A and B are shown apart, each in its own frame.
Chain A
Amino acid sequence: MATIDLDDVHLTFTVHQQKRVSLKEYIVRGLFRRSSAMAVHALAGLNLTVRDGDRLGIIGHNGAGKSTLLKLIAGIYPPTGGERTIQGSICSLFDISLGFEPEASGWDNITYRAYLQGESPASLKGKIKAIAEFTELGDFLNLPVRHYSAGMLMRLAFSIATAIEPEILLVDEVLAVGDLAFQKKAQARMKELMSSARIMVLVAHDLGTILNMCNRVIWMEHGVARMDGPAEQVVNAYITSVTGQPPIAAAA
C-alpha cells in the first residue's frame, strides 16, 4: 500500500537578493546591517491525504505552490513545519534532464541514474537492455553525453526515469520528449506508468490533461489547498473563478 500524508505542512524559505556572498563581504557588511532577506511562505499549513488509487491533479496559478508541493512530496524540499509521511517507492518525473555526468558515456549514465533511483547492480542487470532499447540511441550510448543534443538527453533521461515500476508517480507538467515518434512512445509509456502506479500526482496547466488523467484535484492558492475534491467539480470551480463565468462543459 502506498500513502502520502501531509499534516499541517509549512514550507518557508528565505530569499536573498544575492544568492551567495563572499565571506569577506559578509563580515564587512553583515556586521552593520543584515541583507534584505525575505521569507517566502510557499506552503502554509497544507493538509493532504492520498491513498491507493488516487490520481491527484494539482492546479492553480503560477506561484501557488504546485511544483513546490510536488518536490516536497518527493522529499527534495524538507518541510519547515508539520509532518510529511510517505510510504511507497517514488518516481519523480521533473528536472529529469539534469544530473548527467557529461564525461561519462550514455551507458554509464544509465547505471548512475539507476543507482540514484535505488537500483542495485543485480536488479539493473535485467533492465539496462530494455532502457537502452527504449532510448533508440543505439551506438550513441557509447559516446560521452556531453556530445548529446537536448532531445537525445531527454530521451535518455525519460527512458531511465520510467524504467522502474513506482508505487508513487510524481509528474510535473506534460513532458515534451524528443521528436514526434518518440513523443508518441513516451506518451504510451506514461499512460502505462500512470495506470500501474498506485498513486499518481500530476501538476499541469492543461486542464484537459488533468480531467483526462485524474480522479481527484486540488486547487492550490497561496500555499494552501483552496479546494479539494472530485476532478470535474474542482476544475469547474477553478474555471469559474478565473473566467468569471461557469464553464460550458458544466452548463451542458
Chain B
Amino acid sequence: MGWKEPPRLVNLPPRDAGHGTALPRLGSWMIQHLTAIWKFRHFLYALVRLDLRLRYRRSILGVGWSLLNPIAMTVVFAIVFSSLLGGGDIPRYVPHLLIGMAVWGFLRECAVSGCKALIASECYIRQSPLPYSIYPLRVVFGQAIHSAIALVVAIGVTIVYKPDTSALAFLYIVPGLILGFITAWAAATIFAFINVYFQDTSHLLEVGSQIVFFMSPIIYYSQNLTDKGMQWLLDINPVQLFLELIRAPIVTGQPPSGELLLIGVGFTALMAGLAAGTTAWLQKRVIFHL
C-alpha cells in the first residue's frame, strides 16, 4: 500500500509567527511564559497544597507514611542487598541506598505522574488560557516536597551512621537540587504533551523506568559497573548525573567537580530547551486533541 496524502479540506495557514525555532526568540518566549506562570502562582500554590493534603490524609499516618515507606524499604534492602551488593558494609551502603532512592523516586514520579498532568487538567485548560507548563509544575512541586521529606530522612540516617559528615556537604547539593527540579519539570512537560497524543505513554514510562532503575547505581555502587567495563552505561544515564550531583557530595563530603556541574547545567538547559520547544510547538494544537 502506497503513501496516501490525508484529505485536506483547506490549505493550512502558517502557524502563528513569533514562535519560531530561533533560539533568541525561544528565550524571550520562555521569559514571557515564566512571567505568566508567576502571575498565577497563587493558583499553583493552592493546588500543590491541596495535592499534599490529600496525599497525606489518605493514610492514617499522615506525613509519617512518607517517612515510613523509605525506611521500611531501606531496612529490607539493607538486610538483603548490603551483603549481596554492598559488600556487607552497612554504614556505607544504607546512606548510599537511601539518598539514591530519594533522588530516583523524585525523578521517576515526576515523569510517570507528570505525564498525566495535561490530561487531568483538561477542565482548567478549557476554561482559562493559562500557560500549559503550569500543570506539570503542579505535579513536580508536590513531588519535590514529598521527596524532600524522604531526602531529609536519608540525610538524618546518614548522620547517624557517619556523625562526621561535614555541614558543607549540604551546601554542595544545592546546585544538584535546583538542576534536578528544572530537569524534572522539563521532562514532565514533555511527557505530558506526548501523553495527550499517545495514550500509552504513561505505561511505557513505567516500563522504561524499571529498566532505568536497574541500569542506575541506586541499589548497587557505580564501581560495580565500572569494574565490569561498563562505564559507558553510567555516562549515558541522566539519572547517574543527578545521583552524582546530590548523593555523592553527602556521602563523600566533596563538592561536585566543575566538569560535573557543567554537564549538569548543560543537560538541564537542553531539557529546558526541549520542553520550551515542545510547548511552543504544540500549545496551539494540543487543546484540539484533549
Contacts and interface: CB of A to CB of B under 8 A. Distances in A.
Nearest to B49: A108
A73 to B, nearest CB: 11
Majority DSSP secondary structure for residues of B touching A: loop
A218 B199 CA distance: 40
A248 interface: no
Interface string A90-104: 001001101111011
Interface size bucket, A side? 35 or more
A44 B47 CA distance: 38
Contacts of B198: 20-23, 26
B258 interface: no
Contacts of A26: 198
B200 A23 contact: yes
A92 B50 contact: no
A164 B114 CA distance: 32
Contact of A98 (B16, B127, B284): B127
Contacts of A10: 13
A187 B130 CA distance: 29
A98 B123 contact: yes
B214 interface: no
A12 B11 CA distance: 9
A220 to B, nearest CB: 17
Contacts of B1: 32-33
Interface of A: 10, 12-15, 19-24, 26, 32-41, 44, 74-82, 92, 95-96, 98-101, 103-104, 108, 111-112, 115-121
Given A13-B288, A20-B196, A21-B199, 19 more contacts: A14-B288, A15-B288, A20-B289, A23-B200, A23-B201, A34-B3, A39-B9, A39-B12, A40-B9, A41-B9, A74-B129, A76-B126, A76-B127, A76-B128, A76-B129, A81-B16, A99-B123, A108-B50, A111-B46
Interface of B: 1, 3-10, 12-16, 39-40, 42-43, 46-47, 50, 54, 123-130, 196-201, 204, 283-285, 287-289
